[in-house]
Structure 1
Amino acid sequence: MKVCTDATLFGAMAPVKGGERVLDIGAGTGLLALIAAQLGAAEVTAVELDEAACREAAENFKDSPWGDRLRAVPQAVQDYARTTVDRFDLIISNPPFFENHSKAFSFHRNRARHTDELSFGDLIEAVDGLLADGGILYLLLPLHAVAGFTDQSREVGLCLMRQRDIRGYAHNPPKVAALTFARTAGPPEMDLLTIYRAKGIYSPESEAYLSEFLLRFGGRS
């Protein structure tokens, strides 16, 4: 299983509480779902439209120490939301957000990177129906999309509670943000995470998050 450090960091920061039911929307090959299980989620459902990626996620789940708490669902989240009675304490997603960029050549890369199958409106509508009372939505977006997504989320009563901007180095501007939404109004908490303090060297904060997950730190991933 190919692991992206940035995605691992996003997952490692997820506000997972022990015993929670977690949904991963657009799960790909299951990285975020696996992290949620490792962080103590009681049950993790990974919904992924692409059948090949979903099969790989299912294999990764079976090979993990948390296989009994993980399941992969080969379905569009819009359809899943219409047919399931399940509700989730935490919904996590690293959704496609390249809608303003040229299409990728590969069909599978195109599905992973563009919003043709899942618009922000579709995602918000699905989350609204799938989130349990008191539940949280946690997702990664580019900064240019945060304002629009936040406005749309507010229409269904989901308010931005925390925005953590993420940059590669201290001299770089942040390009993405880890966002936490809930049905609770109030001013959002804002902060900034720098991934690296030098080339190939993680910042102390990043290292603290990643140490449980990356082999170079002795993690279990």
Structure 2
Amino acid sequence: MSTFKLQQFAIKQSVNAMKVCTDSLIFGALTPVENAERVLDIGGGTAILSLMAAQRGAKHITCVELMTASSQEASDNVNNSPWSARISVINCDINNFESDDTFDVIISNPPFFDNHLKNDDNLRNTARHTDTLSYQQLLTKAKALLRDDGVISLLLPVHTIEAINEICNTLQLVITKRCDLITIRGGVAKVTVLEIRNLANGSFAQMPAVNTITVYNAHQQYSEQSARLLKNFLLRFA
């Protein structure tokens, strides 16, 4: 059984197609969830982001996962954690998800590839392609579930930013923060963390300045930036 162990919890990931990776850990450490009352994790997978949010002080997290087997594994990970009472795992299509309450923070590491060739692993394809949840659907649903002053936090490929910005414009949303992740010093960022909010009446939407985080100075040598973000999570910093 594949298990990723962290300082305060462990992630079983034998069923989930998308395993825990450094980018997702950095994203989980960057999401603005400290002491948030209600957090929604769309496409929760192993529940890694939900568990990181709970460790960072979010009071109640709803983790929505489409795939039944992945949802069960997420539930197991939550039930074996210190925060099982604060995280609810729901097995459903986010397009069919309804809530009487809105959310302070909505987080998602959504399907990465749109109109790309697929491999033969159907489970991995579902996790990594936008066929089952387009960016338009994701942002439309997130806006409907977001508090007026809430924030949507997404981990996306850099090449999608223009398309995401166009969708935001149609939905009266605005990208307020952008942080590109450079895997190794001297490289080029392939993924970015975006924060998106409702556009206030009368305000003008403009793209924010680009911040960057270099994850590794060299192979398996964490930068000062990433070590600071991950110091409370990875065993190597315990």
Query: Could you tell me the TM-score, scaled by structure 2's length?
Result: 0.87
Confirm whether residue 59 of structure 1 aligns to residue 80 of structure 2.
Answer: no
**Offset, 1:102:** 1.3
Counterpart-to-counterpart distance in 2, 1:5 and 1:15: 18
Residue identity opposite 2:219 in structure 1: K
Amino acid at match of 1:37: A
User: 1:183 & 1:39 partners in 2: Cα distance?
Assistant: 24
Who is 1:202 aligned against?
222
Could you give the per-residue CA deviations for residues 45-67 of structure 1, whole angstroms, max 9, x where no partner exists? 00010010000001100000011
Q: Deviation per CA, 1:21-75, whole angstroms, max 9, x where unpaired?
A: 1000011110001111111000000001001000000110000001100010100
Separation (CA, whole Å) in 2 of partners of 1:41 and 1:31: 14
Deviation of 1:186 (Å): 5.2
Say if 2:23 and 2:181, in contact at 8 Å, map to a contact too. no
* Alignment-derived partner of residue 148 in structure 1: 163
Match of 1:5 in 2: 22
Q: Residue by residue, what CA displacement relative to the aligned partner does 1:133-161 show, whole Å, maximum 9, x if unpaired?
A: 20000001111111101110121111000
Which SS does the other structure have where 2:192 is aligned?
strand
| CA offset digits 1:154-207 (Å, max 9, x no partner) | 211110001101111221111110000011455424211100011110000100
| CA offsets 1:109-148 (integer angstroms, 9 cap, x no match) | 1110111110111101101110012000000111111110
Aligned twin of 1:178 = 193
Residue aligning to 1:106: 121
Q: How does 1:82-97 map to 2 (within 5 A)?
A: 83-97=98-112
Query: How far apart, CA to CA, are the structure 2 residues paired with 1:148 and 1:156?
Result: 13
Larger mean CA deviation between 48-57 and 189-198 belongs to 189-198
1:79/1:139 Cα in 2 relative to 1: closer, same or farther (>3 Å)?
A: same
Of 23, 26, 40, the residue aligned with 2:57 is: 40
Runs of 4+ in 1 over 2 A off after TM superposition: 184-187
Q: Tell me which residue corresponds to 2:183.
A: 168
Q: Distance in 2 between matches of 1:168 and 1:49?
A: 29
Residue 48 of structure 1 aligns with an amino acid whose one-letter code is E
On the 8 A contact 2:175/2:195 being kept in 1, the answer is yes
Secondary structure (helix, strand or coil) at the match of 2:172 reads coil
1:17 to partner: Cα distance: 2.5
Which amino acid in 2 is paired with 1:152? Answer: I
